[in-house]
Amino acid sequence: MNPPAFKDPGFEMAVRLRKVIDVRENTLAGHLDRVAAYSCAIARMLGLPEDMVEQLNYAAPLHDIGKLLLDTAIIDTPTRLNRRERAVMETHTTLGFDILKDSQWPVIQCAARIARSHHENWDGSGYPDGLAGTDIPLEARIVAVADVYDALLSERSYKRAWTLKETLGEIQRLKGIKFDPEIIDQFLKHLPEPIASAA
């Protein structure tokens, strides 16, 4: 059986990195697929070119690749993290960037920006760099919305799945605080249908 053909070698690299994440964090497979799908939907809502949409499809699933370098005891904690654990968890952004930086492939460069900046907040209160507004890479602003949207709708060991109404209320509340207001306006206007989580 012939392996799949990729028009861009960077896409193949992204897929192979994604497979590493799946081996370590197989319970996240559905989440990563949904974040990619929502990110592509948001990019289209914003009228971004199709080549950027395609790039997001491969880059978005790598947003948490830095977690591969963290202690599984923290990753698999069934309760909310304490302050020390949270500080360690926050390093996954810079660890992910270090894994992906300096690539010659644009899709991996995109993934590096996302990995580092998807926890930055529009008002500058995020991490790791305290970026604000449009200083946050657009790809990271898009993935931030997709990531939170799916996380709120999904059940976790420490929380129930939120209803769609609750989730949209929280996303609206975070407009201009955590999220880019323009992205949220388009997101709420052209809401992507929630993708069912695996049972």
Instruction: Indicate which residues carry an active-site annotation.
Output: 67
Residue 188 CB coordination number (10 Å):
13
Residues in the chain: 199
DSSP state of 68: G
Give residues with Cβ within 8 angstroms of 116, minimum separation 6.
Answer: 93, 94, 96, 97, 128, 129, 140
What are 158's two structure tokens? 């420490």
Letter for the amino acid at 176?
G
